[in-house]
């Protein structure tokens, strides 16, 4: 039967003090409570630990042996507490992280590289996949995702807003009809993520929804970007996938006066309470970056 570590500690204190009165004063408890708890401990063990007289207490043979093990348990408990304190001061252990491919290969990779510099004792195990991974069932500690989590059992913390831009290669634009309005997209080849059935644009107070039908579809935005660079058509990309494509001129903004609807980026994890020091440090680190622009200045 499991014994309370507190009761074992109380028994050790009584043995050290040699009386219930002195032990009660040291523990800040009534003498009757101390006596009652020691009696309960003896009853649960089925053996007497102390011989009681009106003047003093003596350990029985069983009590002497039990005291040795109690002290070992208390020492182990102190070591465990110290180990946790060291973890809090210097987080270590493994963190399992997941994200979509586009975010993982760019934004998450950069963030994790900086995190590893700050916390070298934390081991990162990262899954980069466009499959929606189940954090709880698959044992992930945290995910980086676009959009607020639909599962109410998960915690979603907003890191920042990620704008998206309509882009195409100069070669594609040179041999295609001119675009003056989002409505013109119906006569163009578009490379779209399969999760986005429509592209939404606005200019001042005017909004336009372009429903995409029979277009080039993919489940990977890195693929969409490379297709656009190769001149296959127009695509809509978030800032974290632009890297140096604009400065190198391989992609050109299209309809810059129309702003595309962007995405909110969330850090998602299973619980708000009792997170490991490593996970708590990772959450604080990610939240400190704030806006996406911190990764792509200018």
- Domain that includes residue 73, residue range: 1-89
Q: Give the CATH number, domain containing residue 110.
A: 3.40.190.10
pLDDT confidence of residue 18: 87
Residues 269 and 156 reside in one and the same domain: yes
Residues 272 and 156 reside in one and the same domain: yes
For the chain, how many structural domains are there in total? 3
pLDDT confidence of residue 293: 47
The pTM score is 0.63
Residues 239 and 126 reside in one and the same domain: no
SS (H, E, C) 221-252: HHHHHHHHHCCCCEEEEEHHHCCCCCCCCCCE
Residues 176 and 257 reside in one and the same domain: yes
Residues 289 and 170 reside in one and the same domain: no
Q: Give the CATH number, domain containing residue 42.
A: 1.10.10.10
Residues 171 and 201 reside in one and the same domain: yes
Residues 19 and 34 reside in one and the same domain: yes
pLDDT confidence of residue 148: 82
Residues 149 and 274 reside in one and the same domain: yes
Residues 275 and 132 reside in one and the same domain: yes
Show which of 45, 72, 89 is a domain's final residue.
89
Q: Give the CATH number, domain containing residue 252.
A: 3.40.190.290
Show which of 42, 58, 89 is a domain's final residue.
89
List, as own/partner pairs, every contact residues 149-158 make where C-beta atoms lie below 8 angstroms and the sequence separation is at least 24, other chains included. 149/266, 149/268, 153/270, 154/268, 154/269, 154/270, 155/268, 155/269, 155/270, 155/271, 155/272, 156/266, 156/267, 156/268, 157/266, 157/267, 157/268, 157/283, 157/287, 158/264, 158/265, 158/266
pLDDT confidence of residue 274: 64
Handedness of CA 89, 90, 93, 97 (dihedral sign): positive
Question: What does the pLDDT profile of the chain (298 residues) look like in tens digits?
Answer: 455 888 888 888 888 888 888 888 988 999 898 889 989 888 988 889 998 876 778 889 888 889 998 888 888 887 777 666 666 667 888 999 999 888 888 889 989 999 999 899 999 999 998 888 889 889 999 999 988 888 888 889 888 888 899 999 999 999 999 999 999 998 899 999 888 878 999 998 899 999 887 689 998 888 999 999 999 999 999 888 887 777 678 999 999 999 998 888 899 998 767 678 889 889 988 888 654 544 443 3
Residues 157 and 270 reside in one and the same domain: yes
pLDDT confidence of residue 194: 85
Collect all residues with Cβ–Cβ distance below 8 Å to 290 and sequence separation of at least 6: 159, 160
Q: How far apart are CA 63 and CA 176, in angstroms?
A: 92
Residues 139 and 285 reside in one and the same domain: yes
Residues 156 and 284 reside in one and the same domain: yes
Given a contact cutoff of 8 angstroms between Cβ atoms, the answer to whether 122 and 281 are in contact is yes
Given a contact cutoff of 8 angstroms between Cβ atoms, the answer to whether 162 and 266 are in contact is no
Show which of 38, 72, 89 is a domain's final residue.
89
């Amino acid at each position: 039967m499991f014994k309370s570590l507190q009761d074992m500690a109380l028994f050790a204190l009584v043995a050290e003090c040699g009386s219930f009165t002195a032990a009660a004063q040291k523990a800040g408890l009534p003498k009757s409570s101390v006596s009652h708890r020691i009696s309960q401990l003896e009853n649960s063990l089925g053996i007497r630990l102390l011989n009681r007289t009106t003047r003093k207490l003596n350990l029985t043979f069983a009590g002497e042996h039990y005291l040795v093990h109690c002290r070992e348990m208390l020492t182990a408990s102190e070591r465990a507490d110290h180990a946790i304190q060291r973890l809090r001061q210097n987080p270590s252990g493994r963190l399992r992280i997941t994200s979509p491919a586009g975010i993982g290969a760019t934004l998450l990779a950069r963030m994790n590289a900086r995190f590893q510099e700050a916390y070298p004792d934390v081991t990162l195990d990262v899954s980069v996949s466009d499959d929606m991974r189940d954090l709880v069932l698959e044992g992930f500690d945290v995910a980086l995702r676009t959009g607020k989590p639909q599962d109410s059992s998960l915690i979603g913390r907003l890191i920042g807003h990620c704008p998206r831009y309509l882009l195409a290669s100069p070669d594609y634009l040179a041999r295609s009809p001119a675009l003056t309005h989002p409505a013109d997209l119906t006569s163009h080849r578009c490379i779209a993520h399969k999760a986005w059935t429509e592209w939404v644009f606005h200019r001042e107070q005017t909004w336009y929804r372009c429903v995409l039908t029979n277009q080039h579809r993919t489940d990977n935005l890195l693929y969409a970007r490379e297709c656009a660079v190769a001149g296959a058509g127009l695509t809509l990309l978030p800032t974290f996938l632009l890297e140096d494509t604009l400065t190198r001129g391989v992609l050109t903004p299209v309809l810059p006066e129309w702003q595309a609807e962007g995405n909110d980026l969330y850090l998602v994890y299973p619980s708000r309470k009792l997170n490991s020091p490593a996970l708590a440090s990772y959450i604080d680190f990610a939240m400190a970056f704030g806006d996406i622009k911190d990764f792509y200045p200018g």
